[in-house]
Amino acid sequence: MKVDLFSIGHFTVHTYGVMIAIGVILCVVMGYYRAKRMEMKAESVLDLAILCVVMGFLGAKVFFVILSWCTWIFRIRGIRRHYLRCGISLDLL
């Protein structure tokens, strides 16, 4: 599978991003029609989808920061000795 679908200047469209977008769109469309068929409020499916996508992005970023917290502290504070302590503490985990 190609990693990059195409590039326009510095803007690159990645394959996994397109696949995730297609999956989210298909899930929203299917949920919308199923909610209509079951006589539920179909607009609430759209509201929930927007909320889930935003929370998914935020959760992914928080998870990424938790996994690489030493790098983030190093970038924020710029203290090299703290980075050394983080490396030692991560080796103990």
* CB contact at 8 A, 2 and 15: yes
Mean pLDDT of 5-33: 92
Q: What predicted TM-score, i.e. pTM, was given to this entire model?
A: 0.63
The yes-or-no verdict on residue 21 having pLDDT over 80 is: yes
The yes-or-no verdict on residue 10 having pLDDT over 80 is: yes
Q: How far apart are CA 77 and CA 11, in angstroms?
A: 31
Taken in order 78, 82, 86, 87, is the CA torsion positive or negative? positive
What is the pLDDT, as a whole number, of residue 91? 42
